[in-house]
Amino acid sequence: MAPAAGSSSSIAILLLLLGLGVLVSLAAAAMDPAERETLFRVMESVSSDRDWRSAAGADPCASPWPGLECKPSSSSSQSQGGRPTTTTMHVARLDFGVPPNPTCKPTASFPTAAFALPELRGLFLVDCFKNPDAATPFAVPPAANLSSSRLQQLSIRSNPSLSGTLPPQLASLRSLQVLTVSQNAMVRGELPPGVADLAGLVHLDLSYNSLTGPIPTRLGELRGLVGLDLSYNSFSGSIPTRLGDLTQLQKLDLSSNNLTGAVPSSLTGLKSLTFLALSNNGLRGRLPAGLSDLRDLQYLIMENNPMGAPLPPELGRIARLQELRLANSGYSGSIPDTFGNLASLTTLSLENNNLTGRIPAGLTRLKRMYHLNLSKNGLDGVVPFDGAFLKQLGRNLDLSGNPGLCVVADRAAVVPDVGVGVCSGGHAADASCASSAGGGGGRAVRRGQQVTTTTRGRFFFWRPAAMLLLTHAAVASLCSCILL
């Protein structure tokens, strides 16, 4: 292929020159000049690291640059005549903010130009906009410029100075699979319902912003959604019934908003759910029937809501449940005996409710239990836990603030800090049952007495105590069965 030449050395030189020529032409073809120019504009709008133009030279994709990932064109052109393939390189992913990726300069602006990169699949802006003196507008090009975008993952996280609303034209990024706009305290306003047009969305994380208004009903159209996290915003109104259509959903976190109304029964249709968090809202009323249909549910975290209803025994049928946290929610009635069937349970938090009656003896069989908080309720009777269970929990057991509870002396020795008085008297079971009712002067009860000695309350204290005494006399034999 090389033309004839006088000597072998000149042939070698010629070959070398030819080779270089091929390399240079390869390099020139490696990236479209317009795309390269767009990349430089993106770099310059965000990064302070270097002079990208002179540093990256003709071909930014030729050598590895932090924060920049290139890939060959999907339709790479083959050159004719057996020559090496010339491949067009494209920007596929840009990462800004956290070293080793380029950090952002204090005057960084939102890199709208990035959306013009034709093959961009991922854009990550993490810990980027944080200049306390300059708010950075959350600006995205017009919808028409986004419709040909191939962006699959957009992640805008931990940007305290990013401000504005969620741009409605995000709905035009039809290739999006993962949309994360999280921990940007100055991002406010409503969630544009058009986000429901992102039919390929698998994960939507809008947690820890300042979003307000209702959760759009249309989110129920995102049938491929596996994770939905809207926690730590100020969403108000009720939980849309249509969210129950998200049958692929594994994680639903709506905690720490301003949601009201009841938990819709449609949520029992979320058959893939493993994690459900609804804490810190204004939700009230009974939990919907059918929650035990959520067979894969491992975490049910729903503290601090004014539920004011009984605990459904059905919860005890969610066999995979590991954490059941329902503290501080006005639950009344007794702890269902069925909770003793939750063999996978590691954490049960029911503190600060209005629960009454005895602690189900079955809990003591739960070998994985690691954290049990039943404090600040109206539970009474003898604590039914055996020594092994008490040791298993150690300091992670809290029964304090239940004046009617007592623990038999030998068990009290196992865990001194359980927060409950020792049952007094000779026959452990009978005496402790009586003591818990106020008759025998157990420590827990004496605390109760102090509260009521001087007032009319004393009268009211002793009267129900006498009634309890009768009740407990009736169950005394049962008590001894549980204890022995």
Ligand X SMILES: *[C@@H]1O[C@H](CO)[C@@H](O)[C@H](O)[C@H]1NC(C)=O
- Residues near ligand X, by CB under 6 A: 112, 116, 141, 145, 234, 236, 258, 308, 330, 332, 351-352, 354, 373, 375-376, 396, 398
With respect to ligand X, which residue has the nearer C-beta, 213 or 288?
213
Q: How far is the CB of 400 from ligand X (least distance, A)?
A: 8
Task: Tell me the three state secondary structure of residue 194.
Answer: helix
Nearer to ligand X, 141 or 224 (CB): 141
Amino acid at 56: A
Shortest gap between Cβ of 145 and ligand X (angstroms)? Answer: 4
Distance CA 324, CA 347 (A): 6
> Minimum Å distance from CB 121 to ligand X?
18
Nearer to ligand X, 116 or 222 (CB): 116
State whether residue 149 is helix, strand or coil: coil
Start-to-end CA span in the chain (Å) = 97
CA dist 412 and 430 (Å) reads 17
Nearer to ligand X, 364 or 375 (CB): 375
- Smallest distance from ligand X to CB 141, Å: 4
What does the radius of gyration of the chain's CA atoms come to, in whole angstroms?
Answer: 33
Rounded least distance, CB 192 to ligand X, Å = 19
Q: Least separation, in Å, of the C-beta of 375 and ligand X?
A: 5
Is 232 or 428 the residue whose CB approaches ligand X more closely? Answer: 232
Which one, 117 or 479, has the nearer CB to ligand X? 117
- Could you tell me the smallest distance in angstroms from the CB atom of residue 352 to ligand X? 5
Phi/psi of residue 365, nearest 5 degrees: -85, -10
Q: In the 8-state DSSP scheme, what is residue 397? A: E
How near is the Cβ of 19 to ligand X at its closest, in Å? 39
**How far is Cα 397 from Cα 354, in angstroms, rounded to an integer?**
18
**Between 112 and 480, whose beta carbon lies closer to ligand X?**
112
Q: What does residue 126 show for φ and ψ, rounded to 5 degrees?
A: -120, 125
Q: Least distance in Å: CB of 364 to ligand X?
A: 17
Distances from the Cα of 287 to the Cα of 264, 271, 307, angstroms: 8, 16, 8
**422's tokens:** 């020792």
Alpha-carbon distances of 387 from 273, 372, 429, rounded to whole Å: 36, 15, 15
Distance CA 88, CA 32 (A): 7
Residue 171 or 483: the one with the smaller Cβ distance to ligand X is 171
Q: Nearer Cβ to ligand X, position 113 or 201?
A: 113
Distances (CA, A) of 88 to 31, 42, 66, 85, 151: 5, 20, 20, 10, 19
Q: Which residues pair with 71 in a beta bridge?
A: 90
Q: Measure the CA–CA gap between 47 and 94, rounded to whole angstroms.
A: 11
